[in-house]
């Protein structure tokens, strides 16, 4: 038996439900392969259009924290953390402080693979998604640099940073400018659980109902772009986030 400790994956998101809509397949496949998975979500999603039975933003935030925890459980996420940033306000957050928070998490958790959104802001071009991409990109590099935040613990060089990307657009919506993918994940084996995790976001069910048939047609694959690694290399097409690790 191998003495090697399990590989670790860190996924950084903006809102409760991003973890299943965007990254659910990757998280479940990784867990199935024995990878330890962790999700950090920046906001409690209290600016959402769909508000369930919540009477206030704070109440919606509390509901969505619970929904996030339930979804992470279905996705077999080993650790999840929901931060206290304001939904729909991430573009105004202090960049250096926010990146430092992620540097500290990366140096402590020591992931091999980091997943986040691309700069396009994902399917709905949400500014929070773009900002999470920027913070995570900076933190991925700065966590590995002894010059950056030396007070936040020993450096950690994660092996791969991937952006989530897409091979389709929502009809009738402003299209993002997505990164070309380098990884096509076949997530059909975990598709039913991905939908189960969607449905754990009870307050967001109207959104799910609106797009359900559309998602069902497209749900068998997730697309990722390898954006950073410690080794210089040509981009090649893969079907696994962990090849060679």
Q: Which residue is nearest to Zn ion (CB)?
A: 15
C-beta neighbour count of 65 within 10 angstroms: 16
Min separation Cβ 129 and Zn ion, Å: 6
Min separation Cβ 12 and Zn ion, Å: 12
Please report which residue ranges of 111-204 form alpha helices under DSSP H: 127-142, 191-199
**Pseudo-torsion of CA 180, 165, 242, 161, nearest 10°?**
90
Which of 7, 115 has the CB closer to Zn ion? 115
DSSP at 23 = T
Which residues bind to Zn ion, rule: CB under 5 A?
Answer: 14-15, 18
Which of 10, 48 has the CB closer to Zn ion? 48
Min separation Cβ 28 and Zn ion, Å: 19
Q: Which positions ≥6 away from 2 have C-beta within 8 Å?
A: none
Which of 96, 202 has the CB closer to Zn ion? 202
Does residue 64 sit in helix, strand or coil?
A: helix
Contact 149, 100 (CB under 8 A): yes
Min separation Cβ 199 and Zn ion, Å: 17
Length of the chain: 245
Which of 18, 44 has the CB closer to Zn ion? 18
């Amino acid at each position: 038996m191998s003495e090697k400790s399990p590989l670790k994956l860190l996924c950084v998101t903006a809102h409760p439900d991003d973890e299943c809509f965007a990254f659910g397949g990757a998280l479940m496949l990784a867990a199935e392969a024995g990878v330890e998975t962790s999700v950090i979500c920046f906001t409690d999603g209290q600016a959402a259009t769909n508000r369930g039975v919540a009477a206030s933003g704070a109440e919606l935030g509390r509901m969505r924290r619970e929904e996030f925890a339930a979804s992470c459980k279905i996705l077999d996420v080993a650790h999840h953390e929901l931060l206290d940033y304001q939904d729909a306000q991430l573009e105004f957050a202090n960049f250096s402080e926010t990146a430092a928070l992620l540097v500290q998490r990366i140096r402590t958790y020591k992931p091999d693979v980091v997943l986040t959104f691309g700069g396009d802001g994902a399917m709905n071009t949400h500014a929070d998604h773009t900002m999470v991409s920027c913070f995570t990109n900076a933190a991925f590099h700065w966590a590995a640099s002894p010059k950056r935040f030396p007070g936040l613990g020993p450096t950690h060089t994660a092996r791969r940073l991937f952006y989530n990307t897409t091979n389709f657009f929502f009809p009738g919506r402003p299209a993002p400018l997505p990164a070309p993918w380098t990884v096509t994940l076949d997530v059909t084996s975990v598709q039913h659980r991905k939908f189960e995790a969607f449905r754990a976001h009870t307050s967001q069910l109207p959104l799910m109902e609106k797009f359900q048939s559309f998602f069902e047609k497209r749900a068998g694959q997730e697309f990722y772009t390898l954006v950073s690694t410690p080794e210089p290399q040509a981009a090649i097409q893969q079907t696994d986030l962990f090849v060679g690790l």
